[in-house]
Amino acid sequence: MDFQLKPHSVIPPTDKPVLVCILDGWGENLGDQYNAVHVAPTPCTDALKEDKSRWRTVKAHGTAVGLPSDADMGNSEVGHNALGSGQVIDQGARLVDIALETGQMFEGDGWTYISESFAENTVHFIGLLSDGGVHSRLDQVQAILKGAAERGAKRIRVHILTDGRDVPDGSSKRFVAELEAGLAALSGVDAKIASGGGRMKVTMDRYEADWAMVQRGWEAHVLGEAPHRFQDAATAVRTLRGDEAKPISDQWLPPFVIVDSDDKPVGTVEDGDAVVLFNFRADRMVEISKAFEYEEFSAFDRKRFPKTRFVGMMQYDGDLKLPARFLVPPPAIHGTSGEYLAKNGITTFACSETQKFGHVTFFWNGNRSGFFDEKLETYVEIPSDNIPFNEKPEMKAREITEAGKEALLSGKYRMVRINYANPDMVGHTGDLDAAVFACKLVDECVADLLDTLNSVGGRFLLTADHGNADDMVQRHKKTNEALLDDAGRPLALTSHTLAPVPVAIGGAGLPDGVRLRQDLPNAGLANITGACINLLGYEVPSHMEPSLIE
């Protein structure tokens, strides 16, 4: 691959910074009272929208970002893959679908490895019980369980993490019923749910923000230790959710274990067992993978470290080779914008808080950890607070802004990449008022950044990776009206949306007449990459999607 960037025919290269600003979870959607982006006072982004020659929307979900269908919500991982690579790559869910459809999953090295435990030991499956298609999908899990049973597994245990975030809250009860029916249908197999808990309470931490989550999962899944013990999962979920008038959200359920009539856990992990993580998305499986795979481990006291045949659905970190064995090879993304910038001597600064730091680095760079060229790249992670994000919806936006301003003023960087996590992370809590506050604050921070950028004569591109805060209520599928609970209160929507996302360009250093194309109606996030490269003053590499800039 030829990595030499060619000068743009109209936009001259600049030694001033180009700011790429991602408003994570900020979609363009129906403007009603449940759209936090619409309700919040956002004068900065509203002003950008007024210049129709330099503002438009693009698709951020479904086939536009490599997902199986246009019914699939986008997410931050595939979104940043597309934004960073300029390519539409078959992504996790689609790769798993292909592996199941072709039978390749059951022929690979990962499957061969776990099958050594089928006859004499237990096979454990751990992951998010959901049909949201962001981290996992229940139909895929059912197909894998059936495949294991048909290929000789005698004892299966499933350790579930309830969602309520990528799917409607309360849907855990339906998913548990469907899973239990699927397990009961496995002929000649001792198959049960063994433990569980909510995804924001148990196991699924990311970026090492809260190892206590992983420890709670380890103790429930592996050791059979948890503060709540039940004889079946349906009772566990129903009881732990509590008062249906004001239930505990699925995502925050405490850890629980399933026990037999003698109060013994039905599914502890023992030497010789196989363990499969069935999430295909990487970020929230890295830490539990380390706990299962690493002999040397100090993040928490495991108490007991069984020798298992451990695999992931995919390899969650290619640089760490973690896990070493997996069922489906990850997408290989080469020729990303980050690699091009490094090979052309272009200095880069990337910053976000912990919750999205991996998105502007690892995922942006094609699922690659570390630097392309450490001398040219600076990555700054601002630690996220370890609290529910609606309790402090400002999160670290102000600190990110200050870091971005410092980078813009330093004169060291030609590309400054910023991600504001607030609209997504606060949107996931379902708290409309907090999401409105988050969007208002982010708009203020963007205005501050753009003022600094303009003071040094820079250029900018502002966009988002998917929708979330743009719709905070569950809706009737036919009428689009808000769904209400028995008390007449709106049912919160905590998942991403299918909304398109904004793209705006500008800056004091951008020549007059440079505008966004309006002739690409199906443009997606991958088309943004070329625009970023154009703003630096270069032509788009031929393997990337066409630029949005005319």
Tokens standing for residue 139: 């139909």
Question: Are β-strands 501-506 and 55-58 bridged in parallel, bridged antiparallel, or unpaired?
Answer: antiparallel
Instruction: Identify the CA nearest to 152 among candidates 181, 195, 119, 179.
Output: 119
Cβ partners under 8 Å of residue 177, min gap 6: 234
Is 396 annotated to bind a ligand? Reply is no
* pLDDT at residue 458 is higher than 80: yes
Contact yes or no for 453/461 (Cβ under 8 A):
no
Confidence (pTM): 0.81
Tokens standing for residue 159: 């350790």
Cβ partners under 8 Å of residue 522, min gap 6: 59, 64
* pLDDT at residue 318 is higher than 80: no
Exposure of 332 in the CB half-sphere (CA atoms within 13 A): 1
Instruction: Identify the CA nearest to 461 among candidates 40, 55, 64.
Output: 55
Q: Which helix (H) or strand (E) holds 199?
A: none
Is 61 annotated to bind a ligand? Reply is no
Question: Can you say whether the dihedral through the CA atoms of 399, 405, 411, 414 is positive or negative?
Answer: positive
Confirm whether 195 is a catalytic residue: no
Contact yes or no for 26/501 (Cβ under 8 A):
yes
Is 124 annotated to bind a ligand? Reply is no
Please return the burial class of 211, using the count of CB atoms within 10 Å of its CB with bins 0-12, 13-18 and 19+.
middle
Question: Are β-strands 256-258 and 190-198 bridged in parallel, bridged antiparallel, or unpaired?
Answer: antiparallel
Is 56 annotated to bind a ligand? Reply is no
- Which pLDDT belongs to residue 209? 87
Q: Which helix (H) or strand (E) holds 398?
A: helix 397-410
Is 284 annotated to bind a ligand? Reply is yes
Contact yes or no for 122/270 (Cβ under 8 A):
yes
- pLDDT category of residue 58 using cuts at 50, 70 and 90: very high
Residue 453 Cα distances to 20, 195, 360, 399, 547, angstroms: 11, 51, 19, 17, 23
Instruction: Identify the CA nearest to 67 among candidates 331, 325, 314.
Output: 331
* Identified catalytic residue from 76, 85, 136, 495: 76
Is 149 annotated to bind a ligand? Reply is no
Contact yes or no for 57/28 (Cβ under 8 A):
yes
Exposure of 30 in the CB half-sphere (CA atoms within 13 A): 12
Quote the CA–CA distance of 514 and 196 in Å, as a whole number.
Answer: 54
Is 53 annotated to bind a ligand? Reply is no
Put residue 488 in one of left, alpha, beta given phi > 0 → left and psi -120 to 50 → alpha: left
Domains plus CATH for the chain?
18-91+333-535 (3.40.720.10), 93-328 (3.40.1450.10)
Average pLDDT over residues 457-473: 98
* pLDDT at residue 517 is higher than 70: yes
Average pLDDT over residues 260-285: 96
Q: What is the pLDDT of residues 345-402, one digit of tens each?
A: 999 999 999 999 999 999 999 988 899 999 999 999 999 999 999 999 999 999 999 9
* pLDDT at residue 319 is higher than 70: no
**What integer best gives the mean pLDDT of the chain?**
96
Instruction: Identify the CA nearest to 255 among candidates 352, 185, 162, 344.
Output: 162
Quote the CA–CA distance of 418 and 20 in Å, as a whole number.
Answer: 6
Quote the CA–CA distance of 494 and 491 in Å, as a whole number.
Answer: 10
φ and ψ at residue 492, rounded to 5 degrees: -65, 140
- pLDDT category of residue 317 using cuts at 50, 70 and 90: confident
Is 228 annotated to bind a ligand? Reply is no
